[in-house]
């Protein structure tokens, strides 16, 4: 006996699958391109450096030639630090790291702002975040504990002392 409902199930399944796939590929051209998925201060005791580190997740395709400009508050005072990097369309996870910083204080807010621009410099998105460290940079050594590509002990005997960099309060 012919069961019309049973014969149509595969066709309906294929149609639903096609609609789901098309819906997932659709870019309405609205909303944010990037989202902050992680942010942290990285204290590398071996080389006596601290940096800001942010991870961004791509929410939708980026236009070719996009640039991301990140501005980091300078914990030591003075001008903020600016990093510019090209965004590649195939990037899914994006990391943004500051140059080395000095004078990071625990439990103090530091401002970070990012601007995503297209190839012509048109602003696509801005992101602003505050970052707080749970560690004070005064625990870092003045000089690297190790040197060279093989992490040889630093021959400078004064490298074991804690940071004596003059920092604003």
pLDDT at 156 over 50: yes
Task: Give the pLDDT confidence of 21-53 residue by residue, as tens digits.
Answer: 444 443 445 789 999 999 999 999 899 999 999
Q: What is the CATH code of the structural domain delimited by 34-155?
A: 2.60.40.10
Q: Which residues, other chains included, contact 135 with Cβ-Cβ below 8 Å and sequence gap of 6+?
A: 41, 43, 104, 106
pLDDT band at 17 (very low <50, low <70, confident <90, very high): very low
When pLDDT is averaged across residues 152-163 and rounded to a whole number, the result is: 68
Q: Which two tokens stand for residue 154?
A: 């630093």
pLDDT at 77 over 90: yes
When pLDDT is averaged across residues 56-78 and rounded to a whole number, the result is: 96
pLDDT band at 169 (very low <50, low <70, confident <90, very high): low
Q: How far apart, in whole angstroms, are the C-alpha atoms of residue 104 and residue 25?
A: 43
Segments making up each domain of the chain, as ranges: 34-155
CB 162 within 8 Å of CB 141: yes
pLDDT at 71: 98
Mean pLDDT of the chain: 83
pLDDT at 3: 53
Q: What are phi and psi of 11, to 5 degrees?
A: -65, -40
- Give 85-91 contacts, CB < 8 A, sequence gap 24+: 87/62, 87/116, 88/62, 89/61, 89/62, 89/64, 91/58, 91/62
């Amino acid at each position: 006996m012919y069961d019309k409902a049973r014969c149509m199930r595969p066709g309906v399944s294929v149609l639903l699958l096609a609609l789901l796939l098309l819906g997932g590929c659709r870019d309405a051209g609205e909303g944010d391109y990037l989202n902050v998925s992680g942010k942290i201060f990285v204290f590398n005791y071996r080389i006596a450096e601290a940096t800001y580190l942010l991870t961004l997740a791509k929410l939708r395709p980026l236009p070719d030639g996009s640039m991301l400009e990140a501005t980091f508050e300078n914990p030591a005072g003075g001008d903020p630090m600016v990093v510019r990097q090209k965004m590649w369309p195939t990037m899914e996870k994006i990391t943004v790291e500051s140059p080395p910083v000095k004078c990071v204080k625990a439990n103090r807010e530091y401002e970070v702002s990012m601007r995503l621009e297209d190839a012509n410099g048109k602003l696509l998105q801005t992101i602003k975040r505050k970052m707080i460290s749970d560690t004070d940079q005064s625990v870092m050594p003045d000089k690297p504990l190790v040197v060279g590509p093989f992490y040889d002990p630093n021959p400078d005997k004064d490298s074991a002392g804690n940071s004596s960099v003059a920092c604003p309060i």
